[in-house]
Amino acid sequence: MMKCNLIKQGYPQGNCFVEIGQGKALACEATLKKTDNGLLRLISAVHLSRPENYLSIYQSGCSFSCRKCHSWNFTKIAKGDWWSPADVLKACKEYEKEVTVREPRDRATAFHAHDSCRGCGACVMHGKRSSLCPKVIEKKEIVLSPQGWGPARNIVAFTGGDLTCCPEYYIECARLIKAETDLWVLIETNGYGLTPQNLDALKEAGVDSFWLDIKAHDGTDHKWLTGCFNRNILKLPGEIVKRGFVLEVLSLYIPNLVETPQLKKIAQLIFDIDPEIPYTLLAFFPEYQMKRYKSPKASEMIEAYMGVRAVGLRNVRLGNTGVFASSEQDYDLLKKKVGSGNY
């Protein structure tokens, strides 16, 4: 058994066991392997994702065991095909041929996807833009993916399970992608593996941006949700920004667990670094080990939005709108209180 990379650096190991057949193994051993020909990673799927509108690489295995994980069927179960960095590069080169919208580096985020398209497909299917359309791109720039309509932006993201605690695979992939394509490289992360040493290595390799999922501000709640404490994660926004990465932060509103008071505390730590950092509040929906928990109401999401904006953040958006808005009244309230471009 290999020694945990985090322990080597003086940090606690993650809650990272995954199912393999009839037993369990550490994610770094079950979904990442070194061969004579280099590193291989277990990848569940690779395709143009919505609503992010970029190429997503869905990884099996994770350093967290989130009770609410909506991707548990491949992050907590070793599942997929073995991909080398060269395989990832090949997929990126093929995807780059299909890119229809080119973003500057500071917009290499999921947050900015809605600025150009709301993903409704009305312009293609009905020949008429919806009333919510940003009217930024042309119909010819809208393409169909396995998850629906939208543009293809010049970004590749590593999503699903997070093994940034073992950064070597990401480093090799990023170096190849940056050397042979014009795509921005984004990592969707829980932050647990982003030690200063690993951040420095990822920066040198050419990684451009991070989607940082801060699950909770309260350490006890975070431990219950993920199996790990969040002491170092709460320091990460500053560590990421000072190294010149692009950063966006996301959090889930979970009724009776992570509500407006905690979200405002997360907003404050973001504000203290840069009030321009994008912050998305996603509505929780019951999944995995939290199927008995309820989703938030529109009024609760709006209250959270207003509270976070009151802290001083300038780029805030509500996500998973279909989870909490189900009536014309809900959407009218959203439009009035939040603004049509912010959900």
Do 160 and 58 form a contact (C-beta atoms < 8 A)?
A: yes
Tokens read off for 321: 């709108």
Q: pTM of the predicted model, to two decimals?
A: 0.96
CA distances (Å), origin 226, targets 178, 180, 293: 32, 37, 16
Backbone angles phi, psi at 44, to 5 degrees: -80, -40
State mean pLDDT over 74-86.
97
CA distances (Å), origin 252, targets 83, 87, 134, 240: 31, 33, 25, 21
**pLDDT tens by residue, 145-176:** 999 999 999 999 999 999 999 999 999 999 99
Helix (H, G, I), strand (E, B) or coil at 115: helix
Q: What CATH number corresponds to the domain at position 291?
A: 3.20.20.70
Residue partners of 178: CB distance under 8 A and separation at least 6: 185, 205, 206
State mean pLDDT over 27-39.
94
DSSP-derived secondary structure for 289-325:
GGTTSPPPPHHHHHHHHHHHHHHT-S-EEEE-HHHH-
What secondary structure letter does DSSP report for 116? T
State mean pLDDT over 192-202.
98
State mean pLDDT over 270-275.
98
**pLDDT tens by residue, 287-323:** 999 999 999 999 999 999 999 999 999 999 999 999 9
State mean pLDDT over 216-239.
98
pLDDT of residue 340: 87
pLDDT of residue 107: 98
Helix (H, G, I), strand (E, B) or coil at 277: coil
Residue partners of 203: CB distance under 8 A and separation at least 6: 243, 244, 245
Domain membership of residue 34 as a residue range: 5-342
| CA proximity to 103, closest of 54, 157, 49 | 54
Backbone angles phi, psi at 38, to 5 degrees: 115, -170
- pLDDT range class, residue 2, cuts 50, 70, 90: low
Helix/strand/coil percent split, the chain, to 5: 35, 25, 40
Q: Does the pLDDT at position 3 exceed 80? A: no
Do 237 and 273 form a contact (C-beta atoms < 8 A)?
A: yes
Domain count, the chain: 1
State mean pLDDT over 177-200.
98
Do 117 and 134 form a contact (C-beta atoms < 8 A)?
A: yes
pLDDT of residue 22: 84
Do 147 and 159 form a contact (C-beta atoms < 8 A)?
A: no
Residue that the structure tokens 């073992």 belong to: 166
Residue partners of 123: CB distance under 8 A and separation at least 6: 129, 130, 133, 139, 142
Cα–Cα distance between 25 and 149 in angstroms, integer?
38
